[in-house]
A and B are shown apart, each in its own frame.
Chain A
Amino acid sequence: MQTDWIWGLAGGLIIGSAAALYLLVNGRIMGASGILGGLVDGTARTVAAERLSFIAGLVAVPVVAAPFLGHDATHLTSNLAVLLISGLLVGVGTRLANGCTSGHGVCGIARFSFRGMVATVFYLLGGGIVVLVFRHLLGLI
């Protein structure tokens, strides 16, 4: 749709405001993989309540907002192998790299972080190659 970029920009400004709030008020970097990863591998016990609160907000608001905005279709594949392999890759990759699209991408690029920019180049490269190979060469996704 031609107005998608407006929704994208508006949503982006909201995401950036969330990250700004989390930094300036709570003193934390808003990285989704770090927030969840530290909870599930047990390294974030002392800040578990804060992180669980963050995740509660992240899960609850979309339940209401997505149908309201008509953005409730994820079009996520039903191919079990794709779901499992991609989930594992995202889990391992983000923990090895210590960040994902929110931590390295949004928060890192916003301060011209060298590590954030390196990470962003390589996850865009990885994603682009997989879509090229599995969509255009193999026709699987």
Chain B
Amino acid sequence: MRRNLFAALAGGLFGLGLVVSDMTNTVKVQGWLDVFGAWDPTLAFVLGGAVLPMAVAWVFAGRRDRAVLGTPMPDLPKPVAEPDLVVGSLLFGMGWGFSGLCPGPAMAVLGFGGWQGIVFLLAMIAGMVATPAIRGRMGRPAAA
């Protein structure tokens, strides 16, 4: 129960941060990616601001084996960039630029983003569900 409570708290804080920074506004996101147009640097401040507390958290996480609620700290992947990482990130970025939404904001706008947000979310979920089959066709097992 406590685990779910803190998960909801983390999710709520994440949503609050996305709204405060206006990263649920696709104009700001596409503006950041529009290097050759009216470039909007806001997203750099968002990412920079977000990395600071998280960097401190990683230092604390490195000093202990378990999280406060008893779960072992997550296993971290080997520092190897396989083709799926590169191809997947390119495809993700293209979709992100096309609409201005990435997965966090796509969920955060569910309650106020109108039918457009719901359509995007459903298409994103369809893509997620289809991915294991796509991976299989390319003859590669799922990454760990």
Contacts and interface: CB of A to CB of B under 8 A. Distances in A.
Contacts of A128: 33, 35, 93, 97
Contact of A8 (B13, B46, B53): B46
Given A16-B49, A77-B116, A123 B89 contact: yes
B79 A53 contact: no
Contact of A14 (B16, B56, B92): B16
Interface residues of B, number: 116
A17 B16 CA distance: 11
Contact of B117 (A9, A27, A76): A76
Contacts of B106: 32, 87, 90
A91 B5 CA distance: 27
Interface string B81-106: 10011111111111111111111101
A28 interface: yes
A100 B92 contact: yes
Contacts of A87: 95, 99, 101, 106, 119-124, 126-127
Interface in A89-141: 89-98, 100-102, 104-107, 109-111, 113-115, 118-132, 134-136, 141
A141 B98 contact: yes
Contacts of B141: none
Given A22-B10, A30-B10, A50-B3, A58 B107 contact: yes
Given A123-B89, A131-B33, A26 B25 contact: no
A78 B110 CA distance: 15
A8 B126 contact: no
A22 B61 CA distance: 11
A126 B91 contact: yes
Given A59-B110, A94-B102, 15 more contacts: A12-B17, A13-B52, A13-B53, A14-B14, A40-B125, A50-B3, A54-B8, A65-B19, A74-B112, A86-B96, A96-B92, A115-B85, A124-B93, A126-B97, A128-B35
